[in-house]
């Protein structure tokens, strides 16, 4: 192992960042900057590479890791684990914020792009709702239910109450399947039909119900089930 301080400036992650810009750095080099220092046996870049390898070099998989899981890597303590996960969370929030600023829902893909960072990395189910105005622009997004690995409970009354408070014209349901199986359960179908029927009494349109898995999704509207 060679300590990073002994490397040429062109190879040091921080110096490379300053000279060539953030886009010139690999994921491992960016992680090395976050964790700042290595261990007795490995430098920060080596540790960054190991962290990525354990997540199959997939940042989405890395974001799913818990603090305890990250700490199993030599050289990653509590503070470094928190720092890595916080940086990934900020990146996800930034992407969601950029999408929301220009977001007009025109397709199921727009819904997936907007909510994937909230739901794709979870190991449990969550149920979210988007409320929209007449121009199909998002008014607000909010979580209405949380469950275990295979099921969640969403209260139709809570869903409709928020939509009415937002003076919304339409709403979209969205939840995740941590298993990756995108096929709607009977509970998913029943809830969708119940919400659709309830919306008709309040002059609301249920535009879609999207199920998010790993890098993919299922749309009730696309499949003709709404």
Backbone dihedral angles phi then psi of residue 103, each to the nearest 5 degrees: -85, 120
Q: Among 127, 137, 195, which Cα is nearest to 167's?
A: 137
More confident residue, 82 or 154: 82
The pLDDT-based confidence of 145 (bands split at 50, 70, 90) is confident
Instruction: Choose the final residue of a domain: 95, 115, 133.
Output: 95
Residues 162-196 pLDDT 10s: 899 999 999 999 999 999 899 999 999 999 999 99
Answer yes or no: do 205 and 176 share one domain: yes
Mean pLDDT is lowest, of 28-42, 46-60, 93-107, for 93-107
Q: Is 115 domain-assigned?
A: yes
Q: Clarify whether residues 209 and 110 are in a common domain.
A: yes
pLDDT band at 76 (very low <50, low <70, confident <90, very high): very high
- The answer to whether residue 226 is domain-embedded is no
The larger pLDDT score, comparing residue 186 to residue 150, is at: 186
Domain boundary among 95, 120, 146: 95
- In this structure, is residue 190 part of a structural domain? yes
The total domain count for the chain is 2
The answer to whether the CB of 214 falls within 8 A of the CB of 112 is no
User: Among 70, 95, 120, which residue terminates a domain?
Assistant: 95
Q: Do residues 144 and 190 both lie within one domain?
A: yes
Please report the pLDDT score of residue 5 as a whole number.
60
Res 94 pLDDT > 80: no
pLDDT for residue 98? 62
Q: Does 201 lie in the same domain as 109?
A: yes
Same domain, 146 and 210: yes
**Assigned domain for 224 exists:** no
- What the block records as the tokens of 49 is 């590479």
Q: What is the pLDDT of residue 6?
A: 59
Dihedral in degrees, nearest 10, Cα atoms 44, 45, 48, 53: -140
Q: What is the overall mean pLDDT for the chain?
A: 88
Full domain range(s) for residue 165: 104-219
Residue from 194, 15, 219 nearest 111 by CA = 219
Distance CA 202, CA 142 (A): 20
Tell me what pLDDT residue 117 has: 85
Rounded Cα distance between 95 and 121, Å, is 15
| Whether 70 contacts 91, CB under 8 Å | no
* Among 145, 102, 139, 105, residue whose Cα is nearest residue 122: 145
* C-alpha to C-alpha distance for 86 and 148, rounded to whole angstroms: 23
Kindly state whether residues 178 and 134 are assigned to the same domain: yes
Which among 192, 187, 179 is positioned nearest to 153, based on CA atoms? 187
pLDDT of residue 39 exceeding 70: yes
137: its two tokens:
């622009």
């Amino acid at each position: 192992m060679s300590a990073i301080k002994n490397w040429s400036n062109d190879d040091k992650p921080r110096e490379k960042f300053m000279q060539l810009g953030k886009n010139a750095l690999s994921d491992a080099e960016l992680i090395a900057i976050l964790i700042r220092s290595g261990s007795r046996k490995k430098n920060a870049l080596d540790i960054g590479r190991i962290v990525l390898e354990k997540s199959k070099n997939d940042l989405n998989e890395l974001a799913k890791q818990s603090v305890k899981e990250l700490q199993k890597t030599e050289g990653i303590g509590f503070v470094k684990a928190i720092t890595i996960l916080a940086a990934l969370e900020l990146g996800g929030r930034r992407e969601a914020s950029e999408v929301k600023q220009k977001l007009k829902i025109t397709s199921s893909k727009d819904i997936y792009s907007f909510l994937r960072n909230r739901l794709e990395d979870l190991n449990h189910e969550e149920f979210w709702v988007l409320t929209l105005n007449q121009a199909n622009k998002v008014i607000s997004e909010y979580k209405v239910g949380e469950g275990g690995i295979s099921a969640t409970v969403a209260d139709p009354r809570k869903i409709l109450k928020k939509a009415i408070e937002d003076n919304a014209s339409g709403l979209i349901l969205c939840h995740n399947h941590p298993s990756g199986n995108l096929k709607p359960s009977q509970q998913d179908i029943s809830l969708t039909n119940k919400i659709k029927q309830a919306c008709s009494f309040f002059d609301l349109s249920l535009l879609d119900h999207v199920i998010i898995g790993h890098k993919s999704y299922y749309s009730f509207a696309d499949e003709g089930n709404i």
